[in-house]
Amino acid sequence: MHPFRQALKLAMLSLLLAGPWLRAQELTLLGGVMRTDSTGSSYTWQVDYRQNFTDYFAGSVAYINEGHVPDHHRDGNALEAWGRLPFWQDRVAISVGAGAYYFYDTQYAPDGSSANVHGTAPIYSFSATGYLSNRWFYRLMINRIAPAHEIQTTTTAVGVGFWFGRDQKPVPGKLGDAPPMQDYVTGSELTAFGGQSVVNTFLSEKARAYALEYRSGIMPHLDWTATAVYEGDPEIVRRNGLASQLWAVNTFFNDRVSVGIGAGP
């Protein structure tokens, strides 16, 4: 596995495992415009999970889709550290971030085939956040993604987010969760999934996909799953298999909602 991908997964797991003792969890969905330095513009969308460690410092993990421009379909995962400046009793916040972006770029080849180019790039970001209510907020996000030998892009997106916490927000002088009254361990669960698989080629062939998952909690904030996955038949590949994963999980709203990130073979 690529070293950055290992570091990114470990950072994601650490953010979630530390959740009960940290001060805020913010999940945001954004959409907007992507511009390149050379090949035009396209759409962008992003899912961002941010953790405020103090009033002035935060960390985030994100998935960014950079849209489609000629010869490039690129997306990836970003890990960033943020400096944060709150205003008006924390009802508005300005943040500047920097970190690493691990990308997956499906590129068109002259013979009509596709090349899957992976790499790491620096990412620099700016965000402005306004809190609309006790839970909901809006955010403007600007990212500059600058790999050394691939297309360089700027994304500008706006979106809405939800603050997960045991207290309401904004709360002057208090930014997040109180410690839980008791530790929660996930029970035994069996879940059936249906959806779609997409092949990483320039044509993005698709097929119906299915999975059956057994989940059980090992200890507070740590789950294990065994999953059977059928990836469908998108004509150029037909694949199915078994997965075993460990998950860092955190619960909210009196354990009614669970958020987790898993990794495994």
Residue 236 confidence (pLDDT): 80
Total domains, the chain: 2
* pLDDT band for position 69 (cuts 50, 70, 90): confident
**Averaged pLDDT for residues 237-265:** 86
Asked if 51 and 59 touch (Cβ cutoff 8 Å), the reply is yes
- Helix H or strand E encompassing 12: helix 3-17
Asked if 190 and 216 touch (Cβ cutoff 8 Å), the reply is no
Which one of 164, 199, 218 terminates a domain? 164
Supply 109's token pair.
Answer: 């080849």
User: Does the structure show a pLDDT above 60 at 149?
Assistant: yes
| 223 and 131 within one domain | no
Reported as a single tens digit per residue, the pLDDT across 72-116 is 889 999 999 999 999 888 889 999 999 999 999 888 877 777 788
User: Does the structure show a pLDDT above 80 at 56?
Assistant: yes
| 233 and 115 within one domain | no
Asked if 175 and 23 touch (Cβ cutoff 8 Å), the reply is yes
DSSP 3-state of 52? strand
**Averaged pLDDT for residues 109-131:** 88
**Averaged pLDDT for residues 160-171:** 70
Q: Is residue 30 part of a domain?
A: yes
Percent of the chain with pLDDT strictly greater than 90:
48
Supply 222's token pair.
Answer: 């740590």
| 242 and 116 within one domain | no
Domain that holds residue 237: 189-263
| Residues written for the chain | 265
| 112 and 74 within one domain | yes
Describe the chain by its helix, strand, coil percentages, rounded to 5.
5, 60, 30
User: Does the structure show a pLDDT above 80 at 27?
Assistant: yes
Distance CA 90, CA 170 (A): 6
Asked if 44 and 31 touch (Cβ cutoff 8 Å), the reply is yes
Residue 168 confidence (pLDDT): 57
Residue spans of alpha helices (H) in the chain? 3-17
Average pLDDT, the chain: 84
The arrangement of strands across the sheet holding 257-263 comes to 189-198, 206-219, 222-230, 240-252, 257-263
Reported as a single tens digit per residue, the pLDDT across 176-215 is 344 444 678 899 999 999 999 988 777 778 899 999 999 9
DSSP state of 202: T
| 237 and 120 within one domain | no
